[in-house]
Amino acid sequence: MKRSTLAKAAVLALAITVLSGGAAIAGKVRITGSGASFPFPIYSTWFKTYSRDHQGIIVDYQAKGSGAGIRDFINHTVDFAASDAAMNDKEIAQVKEGVQLLPMIAGEIVLSYNLEGVKELKLPRNVYPAIFLGKITRWNDPAIVKANPGVKLPDEPITVVRRADSSGTTFVFTTHLSAVSQEWKNGPGVGKTVKWPSSNKFVAAPKNDGVTATIRQTPGAIGYIEYGYAKMAKVPMALLENRAGRFIRPSIESGQAALANATIPADMRVWLPDPEGNGSYPIVTYTWMLFYKKYQDPKKAEILRDLVRFCLHDGQKMADRLGYIPLPANVVDIVEKASHNIR
């Protein structure tokens, strides 16, 4: 076979075409990302589906926690990252290529518990912060009993399960606690990591799946996890008292109610620490993907823009069954326009 024919055959063997919005992307490429475990169930599904449908492109994402993802992104060891805490100005300033934050999906943080025979548990907004402050330490505490008439609550200690790693889920949860509890705000405060009460009844576990597993294995436990993990694990979830004074069950509908009045600013960072609305679940957040504005490889930039389009359209249709809240249509439009900054 002639050298020119071999060369053509080699090019043909390696060539792939990805068609999206009329754009053709050629080449065999691995896209790497890391970060938040909060959206991992849906991100994993998105990226596997995209890789399957786009031969020659592999999207590899590791759920390390938001803090680790941001560090990887700043250190340029990944092509993109993900965080439930977005990025702050100090972190963004460390990336010379510029940063494009894109909210990609929304979700709820739930309080899951392990109490035999307790199928429904209501927690007032002055009670669950006190549990995580170590102030309420037993399940038959009068404040919990009062909110749950007719429920047989055991006389046993409460084991609090919290995140061991730097976590966007912790950031969102502590942002909410600071909004509803002055004592929390003046104590542990807000952060991807905070100083938890020193008690042998506080147990640390890594990532959302680690907290979920620990709750399931520990009678008397309570911990904060993403709704999708709780839904998949079939663990009980408490009804939380919202700003309007109603006890709300976590669901796609109560999450959408909380997002209804949220406005996306130009920097794409929007928080809902204590949402208004009678039917709003009180702990809801967007979660972000983090991209460079300037990539050395224009092919990767084009693939990443195409990946974002897939996640914003086909991907949102997968949200409900996986326990996430799809982006409102107007937010999809805003995010898709902002994705054009990825070059």
Residue 202 shares a structural domain with residue 291: no
* Amino acid at position 120, single letter: E
Is 274 within a domain? no
Angle at 286 between CA 192 and CA 97, to 5 degrees: 75
Is 292 within a domain? yes
* Amino acid at position 166, single letter: S
Residue 100 shares a structural domain with residue 115: no
Q: Which of 286, 292, 333 is nearest to 309 (CA)?
A: 333
Is residue 52 classed as helix, strand or coil in its secondary structure? helix
Residue 146 shares a structural domain with residue 250: yes
Number of neighbouring beta carbons within 10 Å of residue 137: 15
Largest CA distance in the chain: 86
Is 309 within a domain? yes
Spatial distance between the Cα atoms of 287 and 82, rounded to a whole number of angstroms? 8
Q: Which of 64, 39, 107, 33 is nearest to 304 (CA)?
A: 33
Residue 234 shares a structural domain with residue 114: yes
Rg (CA), the chain: 22
Residue 255 shares a structural domain with residue 129: yes
**pLDDT tens-digit profile, the chain (343 residues):** 444 433 433 333 333 333 333 333 445 899 999 999 999 999 999 999 999 999 999 999 999 999 999 999 999 999 999 999 999 999 999 999 999 999 999 999 999 999 999 999 999 999 999 999 999 999 999 999 999 999 999 999 999 999 999 999 999 999 999 999 999 999 999 999 999 999 999 999 999 999 999 999 999 999 999 999 999 999 999 999 999 999 999 999 999 999 987 889 999 999 999 999 999 999 999 999 999 999 999 999 999 999 999 999 999 999 999 999 999 999 999 999 999 999 9
Is 278 within a domain? no
Boundary of a domain, candidates 213, 241, 259:
259
Backbone angles phi, psi at 237, to 5 degrees: -130, 130
Domain that holds residue 327: 3-107+286-341
**CATH number for the domain that contains residue 186:** 3.40.190.10
Spatial distance between the Cα atoms of 68 and 318, rounded to a whole number of angstroms? 26
Is 270 within a domain? no
Tokens 């994705």 -> residue? 339
Spatial distance between the Cα atoms of 104 and 279, rounded to a whole number of angstroms? 23
Query: How high is the pLDDT of residue 27?
Result: 52
Residue 202 shares a structural domain with residue 305: no
* pTM metric for this prediction: 0.87
Number of neighbouring beta carbons within 10 Å of residue 245: 9
Q: Give the chain's domain count.
A: 2
Residue 97 shares a structural domain with residue 145: no
Residue 310 shares a structural domain with residue 334: yes
Sign of CA pseudo-dihedral 26, 27, 28, 30: negative
Q: How far is CA 175 from the centre of its chain?
A: 14
Query: How high is the pLDDT of residue 33?
Result: 98
Query: How high is the pLDDT of residue 13?
Result: 35
Residue 147 shares a structural domain with residue 254: yes
Residue 253 shares a structural domain with residue 167: yes
Residue 49 shares a structural domain with residue 114: no
Residue 102 shares a structural domain with residue 129: no
Q: Which two tokens stand for residue 37?
A: 């475990």
Boundary of a domain, candidates 240, 259, 278:
259
Contacts of 39 (CB under 8 A, 6+ apart): 82, 84, 104, 105, 107, 226, 287, 324
Q: Which two tokens stand for residue 24?
A: 């053709």
Query: How high is the pLDDT of residue 262?
Result: 87
